[in-house]
Amino acid sequence: MIDSIENLKEILKEKGYKLTPQRRAILDTIIKNQGEHLSTEEVYDYVKKDCPEIGLATVYRTLQLLDDLGVITKINLDDGCARYELNINSEDHQHHHLICSKCGNILEVEVDLLEHLENEIQKNYDFEVKDHKVKFFGLCSKCK
Amino acid sequence: MIDSIENLKEILKEKGYKLTPQRRAILDTIIKNQGEHLSTEEVYDYVKKDCPEIGLATVYRTLQLLDDLGVITKINLDDGCARYELNINSEDHQHHHLICSKCGNILEVEVDLLEHLENEIQKNYDFEVKDHKVKFFGLCSKCK
DNA sequence: ATACAGTTGAAACTGATTATCAATTTAAAA
DNA sequence: TTTTAAATTGATAATCAGTTTCAACTGTAT
Ligand SMILES: [Mn+2]
Ligand SMILES: [Mn+2]
Ligand SMILES: [Zn+2]
Ligand SMILES: [Zn+2]
């Protein structure tokens, strides 16, 4: 969805928000670490290299804001803290995660394959599906 | 999976745990409120009627224990606290949840319909799926 | 009845997240 | 470019779910 810092300013301006060096640095960090699922503290540690004076509260606030704006997505890996990842396709549904119960490694699943299930849900429950969160637990190739 | 308090004692005994009035009362509460997704505090409030002297720490400990034993399942509805529900079929996968973004109502989906997706995952990622957590977000029949 | 391991409740503690607030900064207007 | 108002920041305190500690208590096997 977001190509670079260039259009972050536009996205912010639309809602009356300002582009600050802190916000820029935080998004830079997330883009640079694409593929990771960073916690707030982890983003804080990374971003301090570019922006040593930044406060942890600002990181919490900014990640929440970027999530509200649809730039990033908050995910829950049941490890006691929120994690975030960059949104690639804003239109598309959130991708699935495979979580290895043994080594804790996270794999991402590109295919969605939920159309059939979602159609059944629309039909049987009269529920209009907008998005989903899907986690699979099990053993990865190395651990089984 | 669990029929009544009768076999809770057996399940506990197998692992060297004891059947206490507190554990009995907590499971009673969960059985009585089947279909709800109770938080620890909510279980605490209900169970105090039968067991007024019970401590909140005991409720936390017992819910965790029952989850470990496979009697109940912890679920995360992104509202800041853990919630639990009785396990009906221990063998089967956890059922799906439909969460209305407007009214917050939770619907349960009986059909699984994930075999195809799970087969693709086994094949393409060499990942052995044991269980899953699936949440759909959208609008329920009343809200759309 | 005894013994002992498991359990309890109260209270202190932890760790993630949020709220507060005075000082600072952005962005738009003058 | 200066002015201005609203948004933002960092430090700190506060909150809140959940965990730990520990002395007193209880369930169960013998
Ligand atoms: Mn991911
Ligand atoms: Mn349910
Ligand atoms: Zn693994
Ligand atoms: Zn609704």
Q: What CATH number did the domain enclosing A122 receive?
A: 3.30.1490.190
Nearest nucleotide (CA of B41 to C1'): D17
CATH number for the domain spanning B81: value is 1.10.10.10
pLDDT tens digits, B5-40: 778 999 999 999 999 999 999 999 999 999 999 999
A144 touches chain B (CB under 8 A): yes
How distant is the Cα of A101 from the closest Cα of chain B, in angstroms?
Answer: 9
Does A61 reside within a domain? yes
Q: Do B106 and B61 reside in the same domain of the chain?
A: no
Joined tokens for residue A127? 């529920």
Q: Looking at residues A58-65, what average pLDDT do you find?
A: 98
pLDDT of residue B110: 85
pLDDT of residue A91: 65
Q: Looking at residues A51-69, what average pLDDT do you find?
A: 97
pLDDT of residue B2: 67
Q: Looking at residues A100-125, what average pLDDT do you find?
A: 91
Q: Do B82 and B100 reside in the same domain of the chain?
A: no
Does A12 reside within a domain? yes
pLDDT of residue A92: 73
Q: Do B111 and B54 reside in the same domain of the chain?
A: no
pLDDT tens digits, B109-142: 988 888 889 999 999 999 999 999 999 999 999 9
pLDDT of residue B53: 96
Q: Is B131 in Cβ contact with A137 (below 8 Å)?
A: yes
Does A143 reside within a domain? no
**Cα dihedral B77/B137/A27/A90 (nearest 10):** 170
- In this predicted structure, the answer to whether residue A99 has a pLDDT above a threshold of 80 is yes
Q: Do A100 and A70 reside in the same domain of the chain?
A: no
pLDDT of residue A1: 65
Does A123 reside within a domain? yes
Q: Do B10 and B70 reside in the same domain of the chain?
A: yes
Our count of domains for chain A comes to: 2
pLDDT of residue B92: 72
Q: Do B76 and B100 reside in the same domain of the chain?
A: no
Q: Do B15 and B49 reside in the same domain of the chain?
A: yes
Which ligand approaches the C-alpha of residue B142 most closely?
A: 4
Window 53-82 of B, Cβ < 8 Å to A: 76, 78
Interface mutation target, options B83, B105, B133, B144, chain A, most CBs of A under 10 Å: B133
How distant is the Cα of A79 from the closest Cα of chain B, in angstroms?
Answer: 12
Burial class of A113 by CB neighbour count within 10 A (0 to 12, 13 to 18, 19+)? middle
Distance CA A23, CA A69 (A): 13
Joined tokens for residue B32? 């009585």
Domain final residue, candidates A86, A108, A128: A86
B128 touches chain A (CB under 8 A): yes
B139 touches chain A (CB under 8 A): yes
Domain that holds residue B35: 5-86
Q: Do B24 and B55 reside in the same domain of the chain?
A: yes
Q: % helix / strand / coil in chain B, to the nearest 5?
A: 35, 25, 40
Q: Do A63 and A131 reside in the same domain of the chain?
A: no
Q: Which of B107, B129, B135 sits opposite A136 (nearest CB)?
A: B129
Q: Do A11 and A75 reside in the same domain of the chain?
A: yes
Does B49 reside within a domain? yes
Q: Do A57 and A119 reside in the same domain of the chain?
A: no
Q: Do B75 and B103 reside in the same domain of the chain?
A: no
pTM of the entire predicted model:
0.92
